[in-house]
Amino acid sequence: MIARRKREKRLLDLPNHRSSHSVPTPRGGGAGLVLAVAVFTAVEAYRLHPAYSFQLVVLGAVLLALALVGWRDDHESMPVATRLGTHVAAGCATAILVNAIHPLTGAANVGWLVLWLFWTTASINIVNFMDGIDGMVASQGFVYGLYLVMLLPDNSFARHFAAVLAASCLGFLIWNWAPARIFLGDVGSGPLGLFFAVAGALALDGAPVPLIFLPLFPLYLDALITLLRRLGRGEQLTTAHRSHLYQRIANSGVGHAPTTAMYTIASIIGGATGVAVKSATPEVMAAAILIYVFLVTSLWLAVDRRFPLPLTQTSENSERIT
């Protein structure tokens, strides 16, 4: 009986008093998503853009390490140093790619690459943070990939990567939409966060820089405000919690599907905004971005007041900062 229970814990996410789901659900399904993106990217890179072969080989090696650490972490907690090391390595690999695609001149390039290192590390963690209810990050990945397909020039490698990302996320979303039949797991959430950053890096080759990550703003806003709030409250950031807005909405009785749909719609509006102004003047583009950011932030704050923080903080998933 004990051995059987251990096997179940390794293969299934078993409900407990901190869970949002009520039935045992297989986890680690993100491994299939990661494999699909990696294989198709390798084929497309060989066919369309061999110039990035070295950078993509480095990213492939880091992706494998990130997935393996995530898989292990799904079954037993990994040391902070190990997780942090793989995340920083992923950031370095993305920075190497950026340096090949869109380097800046002089000393500014150092800060530019450090920014991408930090951004990639943050993206990996944010996607892990936000992977707490059915369909949330898979739907964001689908919208983001489809957005880049519409934003980027035809036949560019970045556009093909975005299409593969969108298709893979949609395929997984079919199984992950509420009620989820399988969970992404850390083996999928970490690499998906890396894919978001890599897609943005590749998009530097053909898209206006300010527009690249626009549809992901609602997802990242929730993580950023929650992090700042926890810092202000003096909470230990490495401990799990349930203070994200999406967690409070879903667990208040609204449910997973409507909550995920709300974030997805906000992301779609961001994507539509970006596509509408991609050829506009810098002034019009800046105005559109500011209006979108203002509206989403205002909506976030309004909904935040409707769903106040619980008196006690518990966790529904294994969220933690590297």
pLDDT tens sequence for the chain (322 residues): 333 444 444 555 544 444 444 444 566 778 888 898 988 888 877 776 667 778 888 999 999 999 999 988 878 777 888 888 999 999 999 999 999 999 999 999 999 999 999 999 999 999 998 998 999 999 999 999 999 999 999 888 899 999 999 999 999 999 999 888 888 888 999 999 999 999 999 999 899 999 999 999 999 999 999 888 888 888 776 666 778 899 899 988 899 999 999 999 999 999 999 999 999 999 999 999 999 999 999 999 999 999 987 655 444 443 444 4
* Tokens standing for residue 183: 């969970």
Backbone phi, psi, residue 170, to 5°? -65, -40
Asked if the structure places residue 261 within a domain, the reply is yes
* Residue 241, burial from CB neighbour count under 10 angstroms (0-12, 13-18, 19+): buried
Phi-psi region of 27 (alpha: psi -120 to 50; beta: other; left: phi over 0): beta
Distant-in-sequence, close-in-space partners of 107: CB < 8 Å, separation ≥ 6: none
- pLDDT, residue 104, reads 96
Pairing of strands 25-26, 12-13: antiparallel
Matching residue, tokens 């799904």: 74
Q: Which helix (H) or strand (E) holds 21?
A: none
> What are the structure tokens assigned to 307, written together?
């769903």
26: helix, coil or strand? strand
| 255 phi-psi bin (left φ>0, alpha ψ -120 to 50, beta other) | left
Residue whose C-alpha is closest to residue 242's, from 132, 138, 145: 132
Token pair in block for residue 292: 């979108």
Q: Is residue 313 part of a domain?
A: no
Residue 14 counted as domain residue = no
Residue 266: which of 139, 92, 154 has the closest Cα?
139
Q: Are 72 and 117 in contact (CB under 8 A)?
A: no
Q: Which residue has the tokens 């993305």?
A: 94
Question: From the CB of residue 118, how many other CB atoms can be counted at a distance below 10 Å?
Answer: 13
**What is the domain range of residue 284?**
27-306
Element (H, E) at 12: strand 12-13
Domain count, the chain: 1
Q: Examine residue 15 and say whether the peptide bond preceding it is cis (omega within 30 degrees of 0).
A: no
Quote the radius of gyration of the chain (alpha carbons, Å). 19
- Which ranges constitute the DSSP H helices of the chain? 2-11, 30-48, 53-75, 80-101, 108-130, 136-151, 157-176, 186-203, 217-232, 245-249, 256-276, 282-306
Query: Using CA atoms, how far apart are residues 206 and 151, in angstroms rounded to an integer?
Result: 8
In a domain, 60, yes or no: yes
* Residue 113 falls inside a structural domain: yes
pLDDT computed for residue 232 by the predictor: 84
Cα 272 from Cα 150, distance rounded (Å): 9
For residue 75, is it within any domain?
Answer: yes
Task: Flag whether 5 is in a domain.
Answer: no
d(CA 96, CA 117): 9
Domain assignment present for residue 316? The answer is no
Q: What is the pLDDT of residue 322?
A: 42
